[in-house]
């Protein structure tokens, strides 16, 4: 027989099957994942838009305000319940100090969220490059870590500010202590009886 060249018929069939399977997978990838990758790239590009920065900064400031406002209201209610005059100098200065701490906290939280927005945008660009190279991406874990760290910083800042702002609490405690001491003083009753006699 002549020794003609070429592949065996079953090898050609297996190559044909593999090429058909590869074509099917490529089509499926194009229909499903290309649209998702394009959407992710659009999201990353939008991360650097003014609207994204405005939204991030506003969210940080609102979160900071939510940490400060209830505690400020509780402290004011406690002062009123103890009979403090809201027009007194001590009450006014303490209230202004807490409002200043709140404003500072809101400003810092907003700035932090703006910087974090930039960091997340560049992390997204890094993930786009990784996707193009076929490497594993960490698309969402980094963003969740940044948001969690920002929340922890806001909460800690509010706790620190209220911890430092103890003069109103001390003043309230001193006032209550003086009133209780005056009412429980056994010599006061005998002094009052001697003065009325």
**φ/ψ (deg, to 5) at 94:** -70, -40
CA–CA distance, 95 with 92 (Å, rounded to integer): 5
Please state, in angstroms and as integers, the Cα–Cα distance from residue 79 to each residue in 57, 83, 179, following that order.
33, 6, 15
Give the length of the chain: 197
Residues near 176 by Cβ (< 8 Å), separated by ≥ 6? 82
Q: What pLDDT is recorded for position 111? A: 92
Residue 181: strand, helix, or coil? helix
pLDDT score, position 139 = 54
Question: Which residues in the chain show pLDDT less than 50?
Answer: 1, 168, 171-172, 174-197
């Amino acid at each position: 027989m002549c020794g003609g060249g070429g592949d065996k018929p079953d090898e050609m069939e297996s190559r044909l099957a593999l090429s058909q399977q590869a074509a099917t997978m490529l089509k499926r990838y194009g229909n499903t994942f290309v649209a998702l990758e394009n959407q992710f790239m659009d999201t990353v590009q939008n991360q650097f838009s003014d609207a994204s920065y405005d939204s991030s900064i506003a969210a940080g400031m609102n979160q900071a305000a939510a940490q400060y406002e209830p505690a400020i209201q509780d402290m004011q209610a406690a002062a009123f319940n103890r009979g403090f005059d809201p027009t007194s100098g001590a009450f006014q200065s303490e209230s202004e100090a807490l409002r200043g701490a709140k404003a500072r906290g809101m400003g810092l939280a907003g700035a932090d969220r703006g910087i974090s927005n930039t960091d997340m945008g560049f992390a997204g660009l890094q993930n786009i490059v990784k996707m193009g190279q076929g490497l594993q991406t960490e698309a969402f874990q980094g963003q969740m870590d940044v948001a969690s760290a920002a929340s922890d910083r806001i909460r800690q800042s509010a706790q620190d500010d209220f911890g430092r702002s103890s003069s109103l609490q001390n003043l309230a405690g001193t006032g209550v202590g003086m009133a209780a001491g005056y009412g429980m003083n056994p010599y006061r009753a005998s002094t009052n009886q001697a003065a009325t006699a």
